[in-house]
Amino acid sequence: MSKILKRPEVLSPAGTLEKLKVAIDYGADAVFVGGQAYGLRSRAGNFSMEQMREGIEYAHARGAKVYVAANMVTHEGNEEGAGAWFRELRDMGLDAVIVSDPALIVICASEAPGLEIHLSTQASSTNYESFEFWKELGLTRVVLAREVNMAELAEIRKRTSVEIEAFVHGAMCISYSGRCVLSNHMSKRDANRGGCSQSCRWKYDLYDLPFGQERRSIKGQIPEEFSMSAVDMCMIDHIPEMIENGVDSLKIEGRMKSVHYVSTVTNCYKAAVDAYLESPEKFEAIKEDLIDEMWKVAQRELATGFYYQAPSENEQLFGARRKIPQYKFIGEVVAFDESKMTATIRQRNVINEGDEVEFYGPGFRHFKTRIQDLKDSDGLPIERANKPMELLTIKLPQVVYPGDMIRSCQSGLINLYKEDGASVTVRA
């Protein structure tokens, strides 16, 4: 008898109400958001209670869930008001909160009983014993530390019934499970209370310090200023192993990313899960398309984090970029008149008559065409549209749907390393 595989949840980031709706429309089974307190993304478009309520209603009407990140490390006084905040979230139907600080866990469990609690990756759970510890405290899910490898993940799954949420895509923190004080020292912004200034992403000078002599900058003698910046994680071609090892939730990082990013990455992981559960052969048939799709959205270079090996210099952003996305997000479809084959689109970036573009939508739908019969919001023909958020109309050769996204195909620098490692510039 063949093994029955559990369908993992595709969990997408939602920094704003718009992104929440886009993520769900593009296949997310759940989204995680930030409220206006107790989270770690103070610069994200965090949700007011009114927005939270609207987002929960939108998600639940479509069979999706909403989780709120409340994963800050509290200092004395930071926890004030948390009990009432958790109760309000519970009463509006929130599915779970994501917490790392034991103080907030105790407050939530005691003052908002019935609200499900998930343990944040910031708590650095790397073994099944810690999963069992949190289970005894009433937590139902643990977000795996990003430093856990695939063999360890498999062993944890065998030894605990607690739900496993694991990161599969997005930014990697240079510090252990995000617990960093570099930002505190460099910019006096507390990374563990929502103020991270991403000091690891800055460029630094590198010095030679001969004993007893003046330090000497060696800037210009290395490909790039000294950096601690990690590449992004991408596990799209390893989704079969995540499913086989019983991961319950596939987590995509990026609450501060664009709707282009959210729609593209969610679409890919949803398609990957659907394909593999249909058959391994179906997944193999679309795997390269999924990988190519990932490179149509702005991001850093990609690697598999700690899942298969300890990251080396190849998982750091040293030297010239080895690959650069060649697509630019330019708009989304607002309406489509099938009798006239005319789409009304909302512009997000410059659009020119004759531009080669790609339309894509939920369900991994794609087609390429050129911008034809471009008209402004007054219905007048134009050659170039450069007013952000303007409503435009164009003629299309096939049907599109409201919510479909549009990319322009841009030339860019690609393949910036030869096989021998020498730097080279090639224009697409």
Q: Tens digits of per-residue pLDDT, 21-79?
A: 999 999 999 999 998 777 655 455 589 999 999 999 999 999 999 999 998 888 888 88
Angle subtended by helix axes 49-61 and 17-25, to nearest 10: 10
What is the crossing angle of helices 280-294 and 259-278, to 10°?
A: 170
Q: What percent of the chain has pLDDT over 70?
A: 87
State percent of the chain over pLDDT 90.
65
Q: Which residues of 2-34 are buried (b: 16+ CB within 10 A; e: fewer)?
A: eeeeeebbbbbbbbbbebbbbbbbbbbbbbbbb
Indicate the pLDDT class of residue 80, thresholds 50, 70 and 90.
confident
Q: Which of 106-115, 180-189, 259-268, 364-373 is predicted with the least confidence, judged by mean pLDDT? A: 180-189
**pLDDT computed for residue 420 by the predictor:** 42
Phi, psi at 127, each rounded to 5°: -150, 160
Least confident of 147-156, 197-206, 359-368: 197-206
Instruction: Give the Cα separation of 408 and 328 in Å (integer).
Output: 5
Within 10 angstroms of residue 315's Cβ, the number of other Cβ atoms is 20
Measured at the CA of 332, the angle between CA 329 and CA 335, to 5 degrees, comes to: 165
Inform me whether the pLDDT recorded for 264 exceeds 90. yes
Query: How many whole angstroms separate alpha carbon 23 and alpha carbon 229?
Result: 27
- Kindly state which CATH superfamily the domain 327-410 is placed in: Translation factors (2.40.30.10)
What's residue 190's pLDDT?
67
Mean pLDDT value of segment 105-111? 96
Nearest to 347 by CA among 337, 361, 357: 357
Which residue's structure tokens are 């750091």?
316
Q: What is the mean pLDDT of the chain?
A: 87
In order of 277, 291, 301, 323, the CA distances from 288 in angstroms are: 17, 5, 17, 16
Unique residue bearing structure tokens 């929440």: 20
Give me the mean pLDDT over the 102-111 stretch.
Answer: 95
Give dist(CA 123, CA 110) in Å, integer. 20
Q: Do domains 9-172+230-311 and 327-410 have the same CATH topology?
A: no
pLDDT, tens digit (0-9, with 9 covering 90-100), for 169-181? 998 877 766 666 7
pTM of the entire structure?
Answer: 0.86
Give me the CATH topology for the region 9-172+230-311.
TIM Barrel (3.20.20)
How is the chain split into domains, by residue range? 9-172+230-311, 178-217, 327-410
pLDDT at 424: 36
Pick the most confident of 77-81, 254-258, 274-278. Answer: 274-278
- Summarised one tens digit per residue, pLDDT across range 344-358 is 999 999 999 999 999
Cβ distance 40 to 196 under 8 Å?
yes
Confidence category of residue 421, pLDDT binned at 50, 70, 90? very low
